[in-house]
Amino acid sequence: MTYAVKTSVRPLVEYVFRSGSLESGMRFGNALQEGTRIHREVQEKYGENDRKEVFLKTELSCAAGELLIQVEGRSDGVLLGEDGGYTIDEIKSTSETPEQIEGGHDVHWAQAKFYAYMLALETGLQKVGVRLTYVHKPGGERSVRETSQTLDELTAFVQDVAERYAPFALLLKKREEKRNAAASALGFPFGHYREGQRLFAGAVFKTVREEKNLLARAPTGTGKTISTLFPAVKAIGEGLIGRIYYLTAKTTTRAGAEEALNLLEKNGAYLSSVTITAKDKVCFKEEEDCAGGQCRFAVGYYDRINDALQDLFEHETRVTREVLEHYARKHTVCPFEFSLDAAYAADVVVCDYNYVFDPRISFKRLSDEQRGKSALLIDEAHNLVERGREMFSAELLKSAFLEIKRGYKGIHEGVRGAAERVNAYLILLRKQAGEEGRFVGNEPPEVMFKLLEPFVDQAEHALVTVHGSESEEELLEAYFAAQTFLRIGRLYGDQYVTYVETDGSEVKMKMFCLDPSELLLQASKNYRSAVYFSATLAPLGFYREMLGASEEDYTLSIPSPFSPEQLEVTVLPYSTRFRDRERTKDSLAAALAETVNKRPGNYLFFFPSYAYLQEIRQAFEARIDREQVEIIGQDSGMSEGDRTGFLDAFSAGREKTLVGFAVMGGVFSEGIDLAGDRLTGVAVIGVGLPQIGLERDIIRDYYNERGRSGFNYAYVYPGMNKVQQAGGRLIRTEEDRGVLILADDRFLQEPYRSLLPDEWGTR
């Protein structure tokens, strides 16, 4: 049997020829735009008979005929020589000096020779010239390396590349075949569907089949993880897609996806999944970071990565953080970069939203064809609005450039001067901000872009050529910040403002994305389908608009599977507005204490801020018997262990009553399951409005100008979402019973009242 795989020249030769180390985490550093500009500049100097961006393709049989590789790609240039012969030109921009490059990098030669081979086949030539044109940044000097190859030499070369690529390609191809057959035969793992599940799962499958998007409000109890993953796996079995991205905002939800995948596997699915954990969490080094370039997991990373991947996919299906760490240690490769490399070969990728939506770190090596064969399952999608604003915004701090100006004096004048100019401009802006300390504008910060472009070039040069500076880490950070600023600047449109804010000698300049909808849509549009789901995607119209849904996209609202008798809701009509808190504090604490005294059990109380939490906690403690009631509290600096300890305290059948004080919108108010007797009651204090501030007010004004209720968009909807999430911790299964206290008089008023879920019975 012959397996066929399709690939482009670049990933093929990169797989075979990648070698050396991860450079200070600069893997994401090469600005695509910059590369394109430099390519164009070289190509513009071509002669009239030379051709640029020439499409070439071929097929290579290897592994004793078991594999057929269909390769294609675009050569930068095909140059016609005076003797009538052709030369392939491969253009590369680099921060390395000509001396550092010496004879040229193997991977670049490999790319050029591959094109030369395909050109020789197409033209019937027996000999082709091969040239590497390096453009050296920051100055733009060029250096050229040139050779010529016979067809026989080129044939031997590409055949060798194909043979070296074959084992991994065959491994993945055979797995894919097994995966598709298993997915086709897979049945729903619970035998029967719960209420709402069939509806939801059916809608997800239809959405993927029809290449649409879906926004679904799926209340707790719908089993939303399995209701989305199962139909997506079935879509793999039907050949509609080849990969699923399960995207989450929080680590806790990722564990739910892993459990669902385990369940599918137990029921016969055969899938490789990779969970990506944030770099700072998964990094093996405890004190240092990548900047020093000394990490042994980074040094020689590319020399070992292929063996690590082969080993991983030969032996594992569920690549959780633990599995990944095991193989990363075994092969001495950076666990974070390894997870990214593994994700390109997995059937299911469980990761944060960033890896798809954030222009800084999204999966850059995915081709549009691969995206078109993938589905996005976006869990807790209500979070994507705020996360979108963060991902599409960028800021700079004056202090970062001042540090570099000082740290690189006498070490690298280019970067020192560029940092000085940015610093000086921010000083000018500080003066403009005057006594008020801020100003807001609608224009992109063009002057800053002009200052940052040379800074990025100089910084890249300094990072590659100068080592051992005390400020190297700061330079790397400022380099990334500047890169991000320029990259986000290219997205700038009507949905942005630029503001400057001062704080003492510090100056912050921020491009703030107010409406992320269009950019979210841009980032997801090349994927076959996106399914946005959450228990609190309400009001649905608001989320449709904010997530960039179009007229053709489907929406679905699934009723709660729980009965109203499971929940006893009480509204305590006290004002929790800032100005009234002192006045209502004692009555509120007394009412909460009375509830707890009357009905022993485990309680979670949610507050809009830590300060208010402390105030009520003190008043509450004075009203309860500490022999009978244990109190624990969330604080802002909790480690992962502290968080687990907090949740573990909520055990069923405790002797004493337990009250956990927590904040709304924090780690305990979303994505946690305290089923059964682990939770008796929840109190939500306040309507969750975000703190009034500059950014919120800008958002409010922006939507007011567009005929919406700006206050609702900026404050009420995000706040009430937190209320719904916090209250939603209480009833997790059909057996749960509990008390829900809503403490604020606004819960009885519009628009707040209408924004409470139907199943709370408060309307």
Q: Which residues bind ligand SF4 (CB under 6 A)?
A: 22, 279, 283-285, 289-290, 295, 297-298, 334, 336
* Tokens encoding 344: 């390109």
H-helix or E-strand containing 185? helix 151-185
Q: Please report how close the Cβ of residue 302 comes to ligand SF4 at its closest, in angstroms.
A: 12
Dump the DSSP string for 244-274: EEEEESSHHHHHHHHHHHHHHHHTT----EE
602 with 654: CB under 8 angstroms? yes
Nearer to ligand SF4, 295 or 391 (CB): 295
Q: Please report how close the Cβ of residue 579 comes to ligand SF4 at its closest, in angstroms.
A: 48
Q: Please report how close the Cβ of residue 345 comes to ligand SF4 at its closest, in angstroms.
A: 19
Q: Please report how close the Cβ of residue 277 comes to ligand SF4 at its closest, in angstroms.
A: 11
**Residue 7 CB contacts under 8 Å (≥ 6 apart), including other chains:** 69, 70, 71, 169
Distance from C-alpha of 600 to C-alpha of 443, rounded to nearest angstrom: 58
Alpha-carbon distance values, 104 to 36, 117, 133, 167, 392 (Å): 20, 19, 9, 27, 37
Nearer to ligand SF4, 301 or 496 (CB): 301
CA angle, 237 then 202 then 318, to 5°: 45
- The overall longest dimension of the chain from CA atoms, in Å, is 98
State the residue for tokens 């012969």. 85
Nearer to ligand SF4, 289 or 673 (CB): 289
Nearer to ligand SF4, 292 or 372 (CB): 292
Least Cα distance to 243 among 172, 309, 186 occurs for: 172
Handedness of CA 460, 463, 466, 470 (dihedral sign): positive
Q: Please report how close the Cβ of residue 352 comes to ligand SF4 at its closest, in angstroms.
A: 16
* Tokens encoding 358: 């954030």
Nearer to ligand SF4, 173 or 279 (CB): 279
Q: Please report how close the Cβ of residue 303 comes to ligand SF4 at its closest, in angstroms.
A: 14
Q: What is the pairing mode between strands 681-685 and 506-513? A: unpaired
Q: Under DSSP, is residue 563 helix (H, G, I), strand (E, B) or coil?
A: coil
Distance from C-alpha of 664 to C-alpha of 127, rounded to nearest angstrom: 70
Q: Please report how close the Cβ of residue 290 comes to ligand SF4 at its closest, in angstroms.
A: 3
Provide the CA 585 distance to its chain's centre, in angstroms: 41
Q: Please report how close the Cβ of residue 295 comes to ligand SF4 at its closest, in angstroms.
A: 3
Q: What are phi and psi of 708, to 5 degrees?
A: -100, 175
Q: What are phi and psi of 18, to 5 degrees?
A: -65, 140
Distance from C-alpha of 666 to C-alpha of 295, rounded to nearest angstrom: 34
Q: Please report how close the Cβ of residue 473 comes to ligand SF4 at its closest, in angstroms.
A: 12
Q: Please report how close the Cβ of residue 282 comes to ligand SF4 at its closest, in angstroms.
A: 7
Nearer to ligand SF4, 18 or 577 (CB): 18
Nearer to ligand SF4, 18 or 285 (CB): 285
